[in-house]
Amino acid sequence: MTRIPKTGATVGILAVLSLGGGLLLAQPQNGGSRAHDPGVRAGAVNAGQSLSTLSAEQIQFFQDGQIRFMEVDSVSGTIPGEPGKGLGPGFNSNSCSSCHAQPFAGGSSPSANAYPYIGPNPQIRVASDASALNTIPSFITADGPVRETRFPFVVSPGGRLTQIPDGGVHDIFTITGRTDAPGCTLAQPDYELMQQLNNVIFRIPTPVFGAGLMENIADSTILANMNANALLKRRLGISGHPNTSGNDGTITRFGWKAQNKSLEVFTGEAYNVEMGVTNELFPNERGNAPSACLFNSTPEDFTHFDQSGTELLSDAAGFSTFMRFLAPPAPSTQGIPGNPTAQSIQNGGNLFVQVHCDLCHTPVLKTAGSSLTSGLSNQNAALFSDLLVHHMGDGLSDRVSQGAAGPDEFRTAPLWGVGQRIFFLHDGRATPANGGLLRAIQAHAGQGSEANGVIAFFNTLSEQQKQDLLNFLRSL
Protein backbone atom coordinates (compact mmCIF):
# COMPACT_ATOMS: atom_id res chain seq x y z
CA MET A 1 0.00 0.00 0.00
CA THR A 2 1.29 3.41 -0.91
CA ARG A 3 0.01 6.84 -0.30
CA ILE A 4 -0.86 8.47 -3.58
CA PRO A 5 -1.24 12.21 -3.34
CA LYS A 6 -4.30 13.62 -5.04
CA THR A 7 -2.94 16.59 -6.90
CA GLY A 8 -3.71 19.96 -5.39
CA ALA A 9 -5.63 18.46 -2.50
CA THR A 10 -4.22 18.02 0.96
CA VAL A 11 -5.86 14.66 1.57
CA GLY A 12 -4.29 11.64 -0.03
CA ILE A 13 -6.01 8.39 -0.85
CA LEU A 14 -4.79 4.90 -0.20
CA ALA A 15 -4.45 2.69 -3.19
CA VAL A 16 -2.35 -0.13 -4.48
CA LEU A 17 0.33 1.00 -6.89
CA SER A 18 0.47 -1.16 -9.93
CA LEU A 19 2.85 0.02 -12.56
CA GLY A 20 3.55 -1.24 -16.04
CA GLY A 21 7.04 -2.59 -16.52
CA GLY A 22 7.67 -2.87 -12.78
CA LEU A 23 9.74 0.30 -12.96
CA LEU A 24 8.93 1.43 -9.46
CA LEU A 25 11.20 -0.62 -7.28
CA ALA A 26 9.89 -1.87 -4.00
CA GLN A 27 12.43 -0.49 -1.58
CA PRO A 28 12.94 -1.74 1.93
CA GLN A 29 10.99 0.40 4.33
CA ASN A 30 13.03 2.98 6.13
CA GLY A 31 11.39 4.77 8.99
CA GLY A 32 7.97 3.40 8.09
CA SER A 33 6.61 5.46 5.21
CA ARG A 34 7.61 5.15 1.61
CA ALA A 35 8.74 8.17 -0.39
CA HIS A 36 6.02 9.73 -2.52
CA ASP A 37 5.53 12.77 -4.70
CA PRO A 38 3.70 15.27 -2.47
CA GLY A 39 1.83 16.60 -5.52
CA VAL A 40 1.32 20.01 -7.06
CA ARG A 41 2.49 22.74 -4.70
CA ALA A 42 -0.56 24.60 -3.44
CA GLY A 43 -0.67 28.26 -2.49
CA ALA A 44 0.40 31.18 -4.64
CA VAL A 45 1.03 30.58 -8.33
CA ASN A 46 4.73 31.31 -8.73
CA ALA A 47 4.83 31.70 -12.49
CA GLY A 48 3.37 33.76 -15.30
CA GLN A 49 4.60 37.23 -14.35
CA SER A 50 6.71 39.42 -16.60
CA LEU A 51 10.37 40.09 -15.88
CA SER A 52 10.63 42.84 -13.30
CA THR A 53 13.03 44.91 -15.41
CA LEU A 54 10.76 45.72 -18.36
CA SER A 55 10.17 49.31 -19.45
CA ALA A 56 6.60 50.67 -19.48
CA GLU A 57 6.54 50.17 -23.23
CA GLN A 58 7.81 46.59 -22.99
CA ILE A 59 5.14 45.83 -20.39
CA GLN A 60 2.55 47.03 -22.87
CA PHE A 61 3.83 44.60 -25.51
CA PHE A 62 4.07 41.80 -22.91
CA GLN A 63 0.46 42.31 -21.87
CA ASP A 64 -0.72 42.52 -25.46
CA GLY A 65 1.14 39.29 -26.23
CA GLN A 66 -0.38 37.59 -23.21
CA ILE A 67 -3.91 38.50 -24.35
CA ARG A 68 -3.14 37.09 -27.80
CA PHE A 69 -1.63 33.94 -26.22
CA MET A 70 -4.94 33.41 -24.38
CA GLU A 71 -7.16 34.28 -27.35
CA VAL A 72 -9.39 31.54 -28.79
CA ASP A 73 -9.31 31.08 -32.56
CA SER A 74 -12.15 30.02 -34.82
CA VAL A 75 -12.06 29.40 -38.55
CA SER A 76 -13.30 32.84 -39.58
CA GLY A 77 -13.12 34.84 -36.37
CA THR A 78 -16.90 35.23 -36.31
CA ILE A 79 -17.88 32.88 -33.46
CA PRO A 80 -18.75 34.74 -30.25
CA GLY A 81 -15.90 34.47 -27.75
CA GLU A 82 -13.52 33.18 -30.43
CA PRO A 83 -12.15 36.32 -32.04
CA GLY A 84 -8.97 34.88 -33.50
CA LYS A 85 -8.98 33.75 -37.11
CA GLY A 86 -7.55 30.85 -39.07
CA LEU A 87 -8.22 27.66 -37.06
CA GLY A 88 -7.70 24.46 -39.04
CA PRO A 89 -8.34 22.63 -41.26
CA GLY A 90 -6.43 20.33 -38.86
CA PHE A 91 -5.70 21.36 -35.26
CA ASN A 92 -4.88 20.08 -31.77
CA SER A 93 -6.45 22.93 -29.81
CA ASN A 94 -7.73 26.46 -30.39
CA SER A 95 -5.58 28.67 -28.15
CA CYS A 96 -1.94 28.69 -27.04
CA SER A 97 -2.97 28.96 -23.40
CA SER A 98 -5.35 26.01 -23.57
CA CYS A 99 -2.30 23.72 -23.70
CA HIS A 100 0.19 26.02 -21.97
CA ALA A 101 -2.02 26.54 -18.92
CA GLN A 102 -0.69 25.02 -15.72
CA PRO A 103 -0.25 26.77 -13.32
CA PHE A 104 -0.81 29.88 -15.47
CA ALA A 105 -0.74 31.04 -19.10
CA GLY A 106 2.63 29.91 -20.48
CA GLY A 107 2.78 26.71 -18.47
CA SER A 108 2.21 23.05 -19.27
CA SER A 109 -0.77 20.75 -19.53
CA PRO A 110 -3.72 21.49 -17.25
CA SER A 111 -5.84 18.84 -15.58
CA ALA A 112 -9.33 18.68 -14.19
CA ASN A 113 -7.95 17.20 -10.99
CA ALA A 114 -5.54 19.93 -10.06
CA TYR A 115 -7.39 23.14 -10.56
CA PRO A 116 -11.11 22.54 -11.11
CA TYR A 117 -11.61 26.06 -12.43
CA ILE A 118 -9.46 25.30 -15.47
CA GLY A 119 -11.90 22.52 -16.32
CA PRO A 120 -11.14 19.15 -17.85
CA ASN A 121 -8.51 18.58 -20.52
CA PRO A 122 -9.31 21.35 -23.03
CA GLN A 123 -8.94 18.91 -25.91
CA ILE A 124 -12.22 17.29 -24.82
CA ARG A 125 -13.95 20.64 -25.22
CA VAL A 126 -12.39 21.71 -28.52
CA ALA A 127 -13.29 18.37 -30.16
CA SER A 128 -16.95 19.43 -30.39
CA ASP A 129 -16.60 23.20 -30.16
CA ALA A 130 -18.89 25.08 -32.62
CA SER A 131 -20.57 21.73 -33.42
CA ALA A 132 -17.39 20.10 -34.73
CA LEU A 133 -17.84 16.35 -35.26
CA ASN A 134 -14.55 14.97 -33.95
CA THR A 135 -14.14 11.61 -32.27
CA ILE A 136 -12.02 11.82 -29.12
CA PRO A 137 -9.24 9.21 -29.35
CA SER A 138 -8.75 6.92 -26.36
CA PHE A 139 -5.48 8.60 -25.34
CA ILE A 140 -7.20 11.96 -24.73
CA THR A 141 -8.99 11.75 -21.39
CA ALA A 142 -10.65 14.32 -19.13
CA ASP A 143 -8.05 14.03 -16.39
CA GLY A 144 -5.10 13.16 -18.64
CA PRO A 145 -2.59 15.50 -20.25
CA VAL A 146 -2.99 17.57 -23.40
CA ARG A 147 -1.20 15.67 -26.15
CA GLU A 148 -0.03 16.03 -29.69
CA THR A 149 0.69 12.95 -31.80
CA ARG A 150 3.52 11.92 -34.08
CA PHE A 151 3.70 8.81 -36.24
CA PRO A 152 7.20 7.27 -36.20
CA PHE A 153 6.75 5.58 -39.60
CA VAL A 154 4.74 6.09 -42.76
CA VAL A 155 1.69 3.85 -43.17
CA SER A 156 0.84 2.89 -46.75
CA PRO A 157 -2.59 3.79 -48.17
CA GLY A 158 -3.48 0.10 -47.73
CA GLY A 159 -2.84 0.38 -43.99
CA ARG A 160 0.55 -1.35 -43.93
CA LEU A 161 3.37 -0.12 -41.73
CA THR A 162 6.49 0.79 -43.74
CA GLN A 163 10.00 1.46 -42.47
CA ILE A 164 9.99 4.93 -44.03
CA PRO A 165 10.44 7.47 -41.23
CA ASP A 166 7.59 9.95 -40.76
CA GLY A 167 8.06 11.58 -37.33
CA GLY A 168 5.89 14.61 -38.04
CA VAL A 169 2.97 15.95 -35.98
CA HIS A 170 -0.44 14.72 -37.15
CA ASP A 171 -3.30 16.91 -35.99
CA ILE A 172 -5.87 15.08 -33.87
CA PHE A 173 -8.93 17.14 -34.86
CA THR A 174 -10.43 18.74 -37.96
CA ILE A 175 -12.94 21.56 -38.49
CA THR A 176 -15.49 19.19 -40.09
CA GLY A 177 -19.00 20.00 -38.86
CA ARG A 178 -18.13 23.36 -37.33
CA THR A 179 -20.74 26.03 -37.95
CA ASP A 180 -18.02 28.29 -39.35
CA ALA A 181 -16.74 25.62 -41.77
CA PRO A 182 -19.77 24.80 -43.93
CA GLY A 183 -19.13 22.21 -46.65
CA CYS A 184 -15.80 20.97 -45.27
CA THR A 185 -15.32 17.23 -44.90
CA LEU A 186 -11.93 16.09 -43.66
CA ALA A 187 -11.28 12.86 -41.77
CA GLN A 188 -9.23 12.64 -38.57
CA PRO A 189 -6.24 10.29 -38.60
CA ASP A 190 -7.19 6.65 -38.02
CA TYR A 191 -5.90 6.37 -34.46
CA GLU A 192 -7.33 2.88 -33.93
CA LEU A 193 -5.22 1.65 -36.82
CA MET A 194 -2.19 3.62 -35.63
CA GLN A 195 -2.50 2.12 -32.16
CA GLN A 196 -2.90 -1.38 -33.61
CA LEU A 197 0.28 -0.79 -35.60
CA ASN A 198 2.01 0.66 -32.51
CA ASN A 199 2.75 3.71 -34.62
CA VAL A 200 1.66 6.69 -32.52
CA ILE A 201 3.69 8.57 -29.90
CA PHE A 202 2.79 11.54 -27.74
CA ARG A 203 4.27 14.84 -26.66
CA ILE A 204 2.90 17.09 -23.92
CA PRO A 205 3.46 20.87 -23.78
CA THR A 206 6.73 22.15 -22.35
CA PRO A 207 6.29 25.30 -20.24
CA VAL A 208 7.66 28.60 -21.53
CA PHE A 209 8.31 30.47 -18.26
CA GLY A 210 11.83 31.89 -18.38
CA ALA A 211 12.02 31.11 -22.09
CA GLY A 212 13.75 34.41 -22.87
CA LEU A 213 16.58 33.43 -20.54
CA MET A 214 16.96 30.05 -22.22
CA GLU A 215 17.02 31.74 -25.60
CA ASN A 216 19.84 34.05 -24.54
CA ILE A 217 22.34 31.45 -23.23
CA ALA A 218 25.41 31.53 -25.47
CA ASP A 219 26.46 28.38 -27.31
CA SER A 220 29.91 28.74 -25.71
CA THR A 221 28.32 28.56 -22.24
CA ILE A 222 26.44 25.37 -23.14
CA LEU A 223 29.61 23.80 -24.58
CA ALA A 224 31.79 24.79 -21.59
CA ASN A 225 29.23 23.20 -19.28
CA MET A 226 29.16 20.09 -21.48
CA ASN A 227 32.91 19.75 -21.12
CA ALA A 228 32.95 20.29 -17.35
CA ASN A 229 33.27 17.29 -14.98
CA ALA A 230 34.32 15.15 -17.93
CA LEU A 231 35.88 12.37 -15.87
CA LEU A 232 32.91 11.94 -13.54
CA LYS A 233 30.47 12.03 -16.44
CA ARG A 234 32.47 9.38 -18.30
CA ARG A 235 32.56 7.14 -15.23
CA LEU A 236 28.80 7.39 -14.88
CA GLY A 237 28.18 6.86 -18.59
CA ILE A 238 26.89 10.37 -19.20
CA SER A 239 27.75 11.98 -22.52
CA GLY A 240 25.20 14.27 -24.15
CA HIS A 241 25.59 16.58 -27.11
CA PRO A 242 23.88 19.63 -28.52
CA ASN A 243 21.23 19.56 -31.21
CA THR A 244 22.08 22.13 -33.86
CA SER A 245 20.45 24.13 -36.59
CA GLY A 246 21.17 22.82 -40.06
CA ASN A 247 21.00 26.42 -41.26
CA ASP A 248 23.38 28.49 -39.15
CA GLY A 249 25.05 25.73 -37.12
CA THR A 250 24.12 27.21 -33.71
CA ILE A 251 22.69 25.17 -30.83
CA THR A 252 18.94 24.62 -30.93
CA ARG A 253 17.25 24.30 -27.55
CA PHE A 254 13.45 24.42 -27.55
CA GLY A 255 11.19 21.38 -27.55
CA TRP A 256 11.56 17.91 -26.01
CA LYS A 257 14.43 17.09 -28.36
CA ALA A 258 15.92 20.60 -28.39
CA GLN A 259 14.88 20.57 -32.02
CA ASN A 260 13.94 24.19 -32.39
CA LYS A 261 16.05 27.30 -32.63
CA SER A 262 14.18 30.28 -31.24
CA LEU A 263 10.94 31.38 -29.65
CA GLU A 264 9.93 33.07 -32.86
CA VAL A 265 10.50 29.96 -34.99
CA PHE A 266 8.73 27.75 -32.44
CA THR A 267 5.83 30.19 -32.36
CA GLY A 268 5.38 30.24 -36.11
CA GLU A 269 5.51 26.47 -36.22
CA ALA A 270 3.16 26.00 -33.24
CA TYR A 271 0.60 28.40 -34.68
CA ASN A 272 0.48 26.41 -37.91
CA VAL A 273 0.91 22.92 -36.41
CA GLU A 274 -1.17 23.08 -33.21
CA MET A 275 -3.89 25.45 -34.39
CA GLY A 276 -3.67 25.44 -38.18
CA VAL A 277 -3.08 29.18 -38.38
CA THR A 278 -0.72 30.08 -41.25
CA ASN A 279 1.58 32.99 -40.50
CA GLU A 280 4.55 34.92 -41.83
CA LEU A 281 7.02 32.32 -40.50
CA PHE A 282 5.05 29.31 -41.79
CA PRO A 283 2.86 30.78 -44.53
CA ASN A 284 1.43 27.64 -46.19
CA GLU A 285 -1.44 25.38 -45.11
CA ARG A 286 -0.37 21.93 -43.88
CA GLY A 287 -1.44 18.65 -45.44
CA ASN A 288 -3.55 18.31 -48.51
CA ALA A 289 -6.96 19.39 -47.30
CA PRO A 290 -9.61 19.83 -50.01
CA SER A 291 -10.25 23.41 -51.07
CA ALA A 292 -13.71 23.19 -49.45
CA CYS A 293 -11.87 23.21 -46.09
CA LEU A 294 -9.74 26.27 -46.83
CA PHE A 295 -11.66 29.41 -45.91
CA ASN A 296 -9.01 32.13 -45.65
CA SER A 297 -6.27 33.67 -47.74
CA THR A 298 -2.71 33.10 -46.50
CA PRO A 299 -1.04 33.92 -44.29
CA GLU A 300 -3.95 34.03 -41.85
CA ASP A 301 -1.89 35.90 -39.26
CA PHE A 302 0.16 38.83 -40.55
CA THR A 303 1.69 42.24 -39.81
CA HIS A 304 -0.95 44.99 -39.92
CA PHE A 305 0.82 47.75 -41.80
CA ASP A 306 -2.27 49.93 -41.53
CA GLN A 307 -1.92 50.01 -37.72
CA SER A 308 0.65 51.24 -35.22
CA GLY A 309 1.97 50.28 -31.76
CA THR A 310 1.03 46.81 -30.52
CA GLU A 311 -1.74 46.68 -33.16
CA LEU A 312 0.85 46.60 -35.92
CA LEU A 313 2.23 43.25 -34.79
CA SER A 314 1.26 39.83 -36.05
CA ASP A 315 0.06 37.39 -33.40
CA ALA A 316 3.27 35.42 -33.93
CA ALA A 317 5.38 38.45 -33.01
CA GLY A 318 3.12 39.12 -30.01
CA PHE A 319 3.37 35.53 -28.72
CA SER A 320 7.17 35.61 -29.00
CA THR A 321 7.48 38.87 -27.09
CA PHE A 322 5.17 37.57 -24.37
CA MET A 323 7.20 34.38 -23.93
CA ARG A 324 10.58 36.13 -24.13
CA PHE A 325 9.58 38.50 -21.34
CA LEU A 326 8.10 35.84 -19.03
CA ALA A 327 9.93 35.62 -15.71
CA PRO A 328 11.25 32.20 -14.68
CA PRO A 329 9.11 30.31 -12.14
CA ALA A 330 9.98 31.36 -8.59
CA PRO A 331 10.90 28.52 -6.23
CA SER A 332 9.05 28.38 -2.91
CA THR A 333 9.04 26.24 0.18
CA GLN A 334 5.47 27.28 0.93
CA GLY A 335 2.36 25.22 0.24
CA ILE A 336 3.92 21.81 -0.31
CA PRO A 337 1.40 19.18 0.82
CA GLY A 338 2.60 17.41 3.92
CA ASN A 339 4.47 20.55 5.00
CA PRO A 340 8.03 19.34 4.58
CA THR A 341 10.44 21.32 6.65
CA ALA A 342 12.83 23.77 5.07
CA GLN A 343 15.51 21.35 6.33
CA SER A 344 14.05 18.49 4.28
CA ILE A 345 14.01 20.64 1.14
CA GLN A 346 17.59 21.71 1.73
CA ASN A 347 18.67 18.10 2.26
CA GLY A 348 16.91 17.22 -0.98
CA GLY A 349 18.83 19.92 -2.84
CA ASN A 350 22.10 18.50 -1.52
CA LEU A 351 21.11 14.95 -2.43
CA PHE A 352 20.22 16.10 -5.96
CA VAL A 353 23.90 17.01 -6.33
CA GLN A 354 25.24 14.02 -4.36
CA VAL A 355 23.56 11.44 -6.60
CA HIS A 356 24.63 13.55 -9.60
CA CYS A 357 21.28 14.54 -11.08
CA ASP A 358 23.04 17.86 -11.63
CA LEU A 359 25.42 16.38 -14.22
CA CYS A 360 22.53 16.64 -16.70
CA HIS A 361 20.14 18.93 -14.84
CA THR A 362 22.75 21.75 -14.53
CA PRO A 363 21.32 24.00 -11.80
CA VAL A 364 22.41 27.31 -13.32
CA LEU A 365 23.57 28.56 -16.72
CA LYS A 366 24.49 32.19 -17.26
CA THR A 367 22.86 34.19 -20.02
CA ALA A 368 24.76 36.41 -22.45
CA GLY A 369 24.44 40.18 -22.48
CA SER A 370 20.99 41.17 -23.77
CA SER A 371 20.09 44.13 -25.89
CA LEU A 372 16.46 43.93 -24.69
CA THR A 373 16.41 44.26 -20.90
CA SER A 374 18.75 43.83 -17.94
CA GLY A 375 16.52 40.98 -16.70
CA LEU A 376 17.80 38.86 -19.61
CA SER A 377 21.37 40.13 -19.40
CA ASN A 378 24.16 38.14 -17.68
CA GLN A 379 21.59 36.44 -15.47
CA ASN A 380 22.01 33.18 -13.59
CA ALA A 381 19.18 31.17 -15.12
CA ALA A 382 18.28 28.43 -12.63
CA LEU A 383 16.80 26.17 -15.27
CA PHE A 384 18.24 22.81 -14.10
CA SER A 385 19.16 21.74 -17.62
CA ASP A 386 22.33 21.51 -19.71
CA LEU A 387 20.20 22.04 -22.85
CA LEU A 388 21.91 18.97 -24.35
CA VAL A 389 20.22 15.82 -25.59
CA HIS A 390 20.99 12.48 -23.91
CA HIS A 391 20.26 8.84 -24.69
CA MET A 392 17.47 7.89 -22.30
CA GLY A 393 17.17 4.22 -23.22
CA ASP A 394 14.58 1.99 -24.80
CA GLY A 395 11.90 2.71 -22.20
CA LEU A 396 11.68 6.39 -23.13
CA SER A 397 12.61 6.13 -26.82
CA ASP A 398 9.86 7.45 -29.06
CA ARG A 399 11.44 6.23 -32.31
CA VAL A 400 11.43 9.76 -33.72
CA SER A 401 14.59 11.58 -34.81
CA GLN A 402 14.71 15.37 -34.93
CA GLY A 403 17.89 16.97 -36.19
CA ALA A 404 20.82 15.51 -34.27
CA ALA A 405 18.52 14.01 -31.62
CA GLY A 406 18.01 10.31 -32.25
CA PRO A 407 15.07 8.05 -31.33
CA ASP A 408 15.92 7.76 -27.62
CA GLU A 409 17.56 11.16 -27.20
CA PHE A 410 15.85 13.98 -25.32
CA ARG A 411 16.79 17.40 -24.03
CA THR A 412 17.47 17.34 -20.30
CA ALA A 413 14.08 18.62 -19.22
CA PRO A 414 14.45 21.96 -17.39
CA LEU A 415 13.20 21.41 -13.85
CA TRP A 416 12.35 24.98 -12.92
CA GLY A 417 8.62 25.10 -12.24
CA VAL A 418 8.16 21.33 -11.72
CA GLY A 419 6.78 22.13 -8.25
CA GLN A 420 3.53 23.27 -9.83
CA ARG A 421 3.36 20.82 -12.74
CA ILE A 422 0.98 17.85 -13.03
CA PHE A 423 2.31 15.62 -15.84
CA PHE A 424 5.91 14.63 -16.51
CA LEU A 425 8.14 13.23 -19.27
CA HIS A 426 7.74 13.90 -22.97
CA ASP A 427 4.54 11.89 -23.35
CA GLY A 428 3.05 12.76 -19.96
CA ARG A 429 3.27 9.14 -18.79
CA ALA A 430 4.09 10.17 -15.22
CA THR A 431 0.79 11.33 -13.73
CA PRO A 432 -0.50 12.07 -10.22
CA ALA A 433 -2.22 8.67 -10.25
CA ASN A 434 0.90 6.60 -10.96
CA GLY A 435 3.58 8.21 -8.82
CA GLY A 436 4.20 11.57 -10.52
CA LEU A 437 7.76 12.77 -10.00
CA LEU A 438 8.90 9.45 -8.53
CA ARG A 439 7.65 7.63 -11.63
CA ALA A 440 9.41 10.22 -13.80
CA ILE A 441 12.72 9.60 -12.02
CA GLN A 442 12.44 5.80 -12.17
CA ALA A 443 11.61 5.97 -15.87
CA HIS A 444 15.11 7.40 -16.49
CA ALA A 445 16.46 3.86 -16.10
CA GLY A 446 16.39 1.59 -19.12
CA GLN A 447 18.57 -0.25 -21.57
CA GLY A 448 20.97 2.26 -23.11
CA SER A 449 20.10 5.16 -20.80
CA GLU A 450 22.90 7.55 -19.83
CA ALA A 451 21.06 8.08 -16.54
CA ASN A 452 21.38 4.46 -15.34
CA GLY A 453 24.35 5.16 -13.06
CA VAL A 454 22.66 8.11 -11.42
CA ILE A 455 19.37 6.27 -10.96
CA ALA A 456 21.27 3.39 -9.35
CA PHE A 457 22.64 5.95 -6.85
CA PHE A 458 19.15 7.33 -6.32
CA ASN A 459 17.89 3.83 -5.57
CA THR A 460 20.42 3.44 -2.76
CA LEU A 461 18.94 6.44 -0.89
CA SER A 462 16.81 5.79 2.16
CA GLU A 463 13.09 6.44 1.84
CA GLN A 464 13.52 9.61 3.91
CA GLN A 465 16.28 10.84 1.60
CA LYS A 466 14.15 10.14 -1.47
CA GLN A 467 11.35 12.05 0.20
CA ASP A 468 13.68 14.98 0.78
CA LEU A 469 14.67 14.95 -2.88
CA LEU A 470 11.02 14.88 -3.99
CA ASN A 471 10.20 17.70 -1.58
CA PHE A 472 13.08 19.67 -3.07
CA LEU A 473 11.70 19.16 -6.60
CA ARG A 474 8.27 20.36 -5.43
CA SER A 475 9.90 23.55 -4.12
CA LEU A 476 11.14 24.48 -7.62
Residues that bind ligand HEC (CB under 6 A): 92-93, 96, 98-100, 146, 148, 203-206, 208, 211, 238, 254-256, 263, 266-267, 270-271, 274-275, 319, 323, 355, 357, 359-361, 390, 392, 396, 410, 412-413, 415, 418, 424-426, 437, 440-441, 444, 450-451, 454, 458, 473
Question: What is the nearest approach in angstroms of ligand HEC to the Cβ of residue 123?
Answer: 7
Non-local (6+) Cβ contacts of 458 within 8 A are 355, 357, 441, 466, 469
| Minimum distance of ligand HEC from residue 28's CB (angstroms) | 19
Closer Cβ to ligand HEC, 61 or 256, answer by number = 256
Residue 45 CB, shortest distance to ligand HEC, in Å, is 18
Nearest to 362 by CA among 234, 466, 260, 217: 217
226 touches 388 (CB < 8 A): yes
Contact between 449 and 395 (Cβ < 8 Å) = yes
In the complex with ligand HEC, the residue whose CB is nearer, 142 or 413, is: 413
**Residue placing its CB nearer to ligand HEC in the complex, 85 or 444:** 444
Give me the least distance between CB of 202 and ligand HEC, in Å please.
8
> Do the beta carbons of residue 59 and residue 50 sit within 8 Å?
yes
Q: How far is the CB of 141 from ligand HEC (least distance, A)?
A: 15
Query: CB of 301: closest distance to ligand HEC in angstroms?
Result: 9
d(CA 417, CA 184): 41
Query: Of 274, 229, 188, which is closest to residue 386 (Cα–Cα)?
Result: 229
CA 202 to chain CA centroid, nearest Å: 11
Question: Is 286 in contact with 186 (CB distance < 8 Å)?
Answer: no
Neighbours of 116 (CB within 10 A): 10
Minimal distance in Å, beta carbon 127 to ligand HEC? 12
- Give the side-chain half-sphere CA count within 13 A for 245: 14
CA distance 378 to 299: 37
Rounded distance, CA 247 to CA 82, Å? 37
